[in-house]
Structure 1
Amino acid sequence: MTNAHAHHVGVTVSDLERAVEFYRDVLGLDVLERFTVSGEAFSAGVGVEDATGQFVHLDGDGARIELIEYDPEGDRRPEPDVNQPGATHVGLGVSDLDGFYEGLPEGIETLSEPRTTESGTRILFVRDPEGNLVEILET
């Protein structure tokens, strides 16, 4: 049996350019590549008839973040709370969580101010423009 290893975290979005601006400009991730995938094999592989995917890969310093905009676009899911089964989030580390928080542009939704958990980890959850959760940890 072959052991799996982490390759990327995928986030489906409805507005790819808006999402790229957030992950690049607000979170500071570098764009690695942009590409489009379509065709019968892709449609069958993702289980979406006549699918085309616009992809942007970002460098999360060891964790590749993949933003995808699909055509056709599916139904929007309700904004999940972090404790709902099936909820997902991207986790990113920063060296100065308070400085990161203070530098957030106006209008970025956070779940709270930075907090220190019982384990001693400092965390902050923000929502990207699509409502997806991003956890920022002080590392």
Structure 2
Amino acid sequence: MNPTAHHYGITVSDLDRTLTFYRDVLDLEVIAEFSVGGDAFATGVDVPGAGAEFVHLDGGDARIELVAYEPEGDSRPRPSLDEPGATHLGLAVDDLDSVYADLPDSVETLSEPQTTESGTRILFVRDPEGNLVELLET
């Protein structure tokens, strides 16, 4: 078996608001929008009666998948990077300082851009749902 990345999925409660962030703030292109439901889907995701709305965004080598389920599950606490099982989406950018300067005031950042010991410049932001996104310049 030689798997390759197809997509990175992020479950959201407000698909329109979250799509606006990824499309308009992070400038990711929408490549597909669709709905999925039915018994096979509900069984496959182990959520009785589930259906979902999907948006796929162009993330370069893999898609970024935003998905809103019906019925919606319980909310979870805001993620922290040091928690086992924590996840984040990493997106490479050409000019991190420019991206940072252009972020709307409504976008929460964990800090200003930082240069790590490895020489990589990083900036963590939260999407409107509180999910962590790492913007990095190498």
- What TM-score do you get using the length of structure 1 for normalisation? 0.97
Q: Does 1:37 align with 2:36?
A: yes
Match of 1:12 in 2: 11
Cα displacement string for residues 79-100 of structure 1 (whole angstroms, at most 9, x for unaligned residues) = 0101101111110011100000
Shift of 1:54: 0.3
Residue in 2 aligned with 1:108?
107
Give the structure-2-normalised TM-score.
0.98
Q: Amino acid of the residue matched to residue 85 of structure 1?
A: P
Structure 2 CA distance, aligned partners of 1:61 and 1:81? 26
1:101 & 1:43 partners in 2: Cα distance?
A: 40
4+ aligned runs moved over 2 Å, structure 1: none
Q: Give, in whole Å, the separation in 2 of the partners of 1:86 and 1:12.
A: 15
Q: Deviations over 1:50-102 (max 9, x none)?
A: 00010000001222100000000000010010110111111001110000000
Task: Let me know the Cα RMSD of the aligned residues.
Answer: 0.7
Could you say which residue in structure 2 is the equivalent of 1:54? 53
Letter in 1 for 2:121: R
SS at match of 2:57: strand
| Rounded Cα–Cα distance in structure 2 between residues aligned with 1:61 and 1:41 | 29
Question: How many pairs were matched up?
Answer: 138
Structure 1 gap ranges (5+):
none
Q: Secondary structure at the match of 2:43?
A: helix
Q: Does 1:92 align with 2:87?
A: no
Distance 1:119 1:61 in 2: 23
What aligned pairs does 1:70-85 form with structure 2 within 5 A after superposition? 70-85=69-84
Secondary structure in structure 2 of the residue aligned to 1:11:
strand
Q: Which amino acid aligns with 1:64?
A: R
